[in-house]
Chain A
Amino acid sequence: MSALITVRHLVKRFGAKIVLRQMDFTVETGEFVALLGPNGAGKTTFIRILASLARPSLGEVWISGFRLPQQAAAVRRRLGVVSHQPLLYGDLSALENLQFFGRMYAVPALARRIQEVLELVGLSARQRDLVRTFSRGMQQRLAIGRAILHDPDLLLLDEPHTGLDQDACDMLDTALKQVATRGRTVVMTSHDLARIQDLASRFDVLTAGRIVSSRAAPDLPRDGLLAYYRQTLEQQRSPNGGGL
């Protein structure tokens, strides 16, 4: 395996506030990495930097051999992003949304690719309906379809389960598993530890602006993610933990 993402000494500041502190992070091709952490830990900021939507203040970020932000266009071609917002136009149909983003990414054989993606996310029957008539779960499934339309190497997911009911979460997880089994690299933030334990191959805990612990899925006992996460945060809060 080779490193798809390499982050070295990443710092992100907003004015006087430091959100990411000398952060190091590496993801191998084909890994499904779950980024865990409390609110305000810097997860969303980190995902936005990887997505080239925000600039690092200091440090190096490399994706697929391209450096951010200098080679952002080349990186954008290789990544798909799903956030808690759908990034879709409510006044366009599902089909029109995918047609629009397909044109923006210059997807070859677009009509056929759109039908493949709609089939994958289970929305073929609703493709001509306006997105604003979709449930939140359907919008998130279409958001995954938009993110994988151009067949990216890397998927970045920022709390995609937010606001979804149990059925919608199940459908989203099914779509994510299908995406992951096709060999794509995934980095996902989530607070839903029960769900993410079944999805990810590695769990990194991000708190106070840096990765403080990392554990491969096989090294955790079944249903042991919550205990691992709590223990890691406790260690950081203790006087000798050094994190907070």
Chain B
Amino acid sequence: MSGLTSFLSAMGAVIWKDLRAEWRSREIVSAMLVFTLLVIIIFNFALDLQPNIRAGISAGVLWVTLAFAGTLGLNRSMAVEKDRGCLDGLLLAPVDRAAIYLGKALANLVFMLLVALIALPLYGILYNTNLFIPGLLLTVVLGAEGYVAVGTLLASMAVQARTRDILLPILLFPVAVPVVVAAVKATGGFLAGLAWSEIQPWITLLVVYDVIFTSVAFMVFDSIVEE
């Protein structure tokens, strides 16, 4: 098997395994979804949003919710690997470990987008906002990609520690600030109906962040998971 075929096959196997296991247990997505819905409802009652500030506040609420829910999912996704020694089983495979990282990251991205897909309509109804704007959906995909790219890497580091549940947010949130800020600004821009030229710098920042952090994680994953 050629190097690329072997890489893609291993990556595909990891994605298949994570999706199949999640389909059976529904542990990760259900926890993320319940958390997301609760936060959206609590913010809806806590904030009395005036139409002139709604776009900015709604975007912030949306991304804080997705970021916190994403952290829950990332923690659980790596804990499943660690609890039964499965991470060692993965690392023993004679494949490029970057394929394991990409497989885990893509599975995490699917979970996060699935939660967003279910949460967005409810969010739109409760906040009286139309969220089905192509640019906004692109922002959700780019923001989620950046978040899971760095989150999967840091989760694989945090899972080695006894305090992994609290360690991941402490490691992740400072590093994820650029992606969350850019995603909030771009989402707010789309909700407020701003011109593309005003939103484009934030979308560009998201793309650059995604490329840089996916590449860095791709290169350093092997060193992070090795003792």
Verify B24–A76 contact, CB threshold 8 A: no
Most buried by B among A85, A91, A103, A104: A104
Considering the complex, give the chain A residue whose CB is closest to the CB of B93: A104
Chain B, 119-164, CB within 8 A of any chain A CB: none
Task: Known A92-B24, A106-B6, A106-B9; judge A51-B92 contact (CB<8 A).
Answer: yes
**Known contacts being A85-B84, A88-B86, is A55 close to B6, with CB within 8 Å?**
no
Question: Which chain B positions have C-beta within 8 A of A54?
Answer: 226-227
Give chain B nearest CB distance to A229 CB in angstroms. 28
Q: Is the interface of A mostly helix, strand, loop or mixed?
A: loop
The answer to whether A52 has its CB under 8 Å from any CB of chain B is yes
The residue from A76, A90, A104 contacting B84, defined by CB atoms under 8 A apart: A90
A227 within 8 A of B: no
Q: Which residues of A contact B91 (CB under 8 A)?
A: 53
A100 touches B227 (CB 8 A): no
**Hey, which chain B residues are within 8 Å of A77, CB to CB?**
94
Q: Mark A89-125, 1 if CB is under 8 A from B, else 0.
A: 1111000100011011110000000000000000000
How many chain B residues sit at the interface, stated as a range, is: 20 to 34
Residue among B9, B12, B21 with the highest chain A CB neighbour number at 10 A: B21
Residue of A nearest to B103 (CB): A104
Contact A53 B227 (CB under 8 A): yes
State whether A104 touches B10 (Cβ < 8 A): yes
Cα distance, A91 to B92, chains bound together (Å): 20
Chain B, interface SS category: helix
Q: Which of A53, A96, A106 contacts B92 (CB 8 A)?
A: A53
Closest approach, in angstroms, between the C-beta of B31 and any C-beta of chain A? 15
Chain A residues, CB < 8 A from B90: 104
Check A101–B89 contact: CB distance below 8 A. yes
A137 at the interface (CB under 8 A from B): no
Known interface pairs A53-B92, A74-B94, A85-B84; A103-B10 also in contact (CB < 8 Å): yes
> When the two chains form their complex, are residues B84 and A100 in contact, meaning their CB atoms are under 8 A apart?
no
Is residue A146 contacting chain B, with contact meaning CB distance below 8 A? yes
Report which of B12, B20, B84, B96 forms a contact with A87, defined as CB distance below 8 A: B84
Q: Chain B 167-193 against A: per-residue CB contact (8 Å), 1 yes, 0 no?
A: 000000000000000000000000000
CB-nearest residue of chain A to B227: A54
Question: Cα distance A104–B15 when bound, in Å?
Answer: 12
| A100–B11 CA distance with the chains assembled, in angstroms | 11
Which residue of chain B lies nearest to A75 when distances are taken between CB atoms in the complex?
B94
**Is there contact, CB below 8 Å, between B227 and A88?**
no
Bitwise interface map of B from 58 to 95 toward A, beta carbon under 8 Å scored 1, else 0:
00000000000000000000001000111011111111
A85-B85, A105-B94 are contacts. A100–B24 as well, Cβ < 8 Å?
A: no
> Across the interface, which residues of A come within 8 angstroms of B21, CB to CB?
89, 91-92
Within 8 Å of chain A (Cβ to Cβ): is B216? Answer: no
Q: Within 8 Å CB of A106, what residues of B?
A: 1, 6, 9
Determine whether the beta carbon of A100 is less than 8 Å from that of B16.
Answer: yes
Determine if A92 and B20 form an interchain contact, defined as CB atoms under 8 angstroms apart: yes
Which residues in chain A, 210-235, are within 8 Å of chain B measured between CB atoms? none
Q: Is the CB of B227 within 8 A of A87?
A: no
Instruction: Indicate whether B25 reaches chain A with its CB closer than 8 angstroms.
Output: yes
B88 x A87 contact (CB < 8 A): yes
Q: Which of B20, B84, B86 contacts A96, CB < 8 Å?
A: B20
A60-83 contact mask (Cβ, 8 Å, vs B): 1 or 0: 000000000100011011010101
A85 to B92, CA, bound (A): 14
Interface residues of B in 9-30 (CB under 8 A from A): 9-10, 12-13, 16-17, 20-22, 24-25
Checking A51, A81, A88, A91 against B24 with a beta-carbon cut-off of 8 angstroms, the contacting residue is: A91
How many Å from the CB of B56 to the closest CB on chain A? Answer: 41
Please report B residues at the A interface, Cβ cutoff 8 Å.
Answer: 1, 6, 9-10, 12-13, 16-17, 20-22, 24-25, 80, 84-86, 88-96, 226-227
A-B residue pairs in contact (CB < 8 Å), sample of 18: A51-B88, A51-B92, A52-B92, A73-B96, A74-B94, A76-B93, A85-B85, A86-B84, A87-B84, A87-B92, A88-B84, A89-B80, A92-B20, A92-B21, A92-B24, A96-B17, A101-B89, A103-B10
Tell me the A residues contacting B by CB distance below 8 Å: 48, 51-55, 69, 73-74, 76-77, 79, 81, 83, 85-92, 96, 100-101, 103-106, 130, 146
